[in-house]
Amino acid sequence: MPSSKTREIVIKESKGNFNIFKSSKISKKDYNFDGISALRSLLSNEKARILDVIKTKKPKSIYELAKILGRPFKAVFDDVKFLERFGFIDFVKETTKKRVSHRPELAVEKMTIQFRI
């Protein structure tokens, strides 16, 4: 893991809309809090637990992570893929005999959230 890697999330206000991710479509009526919802989804309790378990217990696979968390594999898989998509987790491919596993590891050490109004 790099010595210090920060993930920055910028939420900007545009015509009464908070957008966490750049979106070319801003044609909804009234106020749109999709950006805030996306941020809540990104920072849910379950995703925070995933990041904590990866940091502290260093599971060797997504399957092991799911067992530690006591959650269904599919739910954990979807969450870690979401976290990978936004750069919070990387996967290290490991081969044992003929079996391939993907060990999750943290890609960041710090998260900064900015609201631009």
- Residue 35 — pLDDT band, cuts 50, 70, 90? low
Amino acid identity for residue 14 in this structure = S
Given a contact cutoff of 8 angstroms between Cβ atoms, the answer to whether 14 and 117 are in contact is no
DSSP string of 14-60, one letter each residue? ETTEEESS--S----SS-B-HHHHHHHHHT-HHHHHHHHHHHHH--S
Domains of the chain and any CATH numbers: 6-116 (1.10.10.10)
Partner residues linked to 9 by β-bridges: 113
Helix (H, G, I), strand (E, B) or coil at 69: helix
Higher pLDDT, 21 or 71: 71
pLDDT at position 43: 75
Q: Residue 49: is its pLDDT beyond 80? A: yes
pLDDT for 100-109, tens place per residue?
Answer: 888 999 988 8
- Residue 5 — pLDDT band, cuts 50, 70, 90? confident
